[in-house]
Amino acid sequence: MLRDLLLLLIVISGGAYGFWLMKGVDRFLERSRGDRTDENSEKQQKCAVIFSSREEPELEKWFSNAGFRVLSVTEIHLQKGWEDAGYLVALSDSDVDNLSICNLMKRTCPQSAIYSLCNDRSLKKLYRKTGASVVYDRDELIQRMELITLEHEMGAA
């Protein structure tokens, strides 16, 4: 009988030790999952695509301050990270390039807001078909983007 009691105590203490050990493993896994979700939330951060033949540091700064990851693009092709694009700003001097990137963005990211510079007013109808908000003056587009980023910042606050 004493032998059975000692055996029972050994089994219970082994089970308690195993439970304590697994609880530590669970805490470790939870912490590592928490780190991964932080990384995933950074990856899932919305981005703003700026299509232009020259750098736009002012625009990049506004989008960065509003919490967007900024992708500056000079060529018309899909790039990694476009699937979560919130905005496209097309500032090229070529209407063909602007229309092409607007079409590409409309097909790959239909939820994104598209803003474009229209150099030839007769092409306004084509821009509208791509879903782009059209502006005829570069400075006006820059001012509009400043207002949009300020609205986004205020909405996030």
Note the pLDDT of residue 44: 52
Q: Once rounded to an integer, what is the mean pLDDT over residues 45-52?
A: 82
pLDDT tens for each residue of 133-156: 898 888 888 788 778 777 766 654
Q: What is the pLDDT of residues 13-42, one digit of tens each?
A: 888 888 888 888 888 888 877 765 554 444
Which pLDDT band, with edges at 50, 70 and 90, does 81 fall under? Answer: low
Neighbour-count burial of 152, counting CB atoms closer than 10 A to its CB (0-12 exposed, 13-18 middle, 19+ buried): buried
Rounded distance, CA 146 to CA 71, Å? 17
Burial class (CB in 10 A: 0-12, 13-18, 19+), 114: buried
pLDDT at 157: 46
Q: Which residue has the tokens 């782009």?
A: 132
Whether 43 has a pLDDT exceeding 50, the answer reads no
Question: What is the signed CA dihedral for 115, 138, 96, 74, rounded to 10 degrees?
Answer: -80
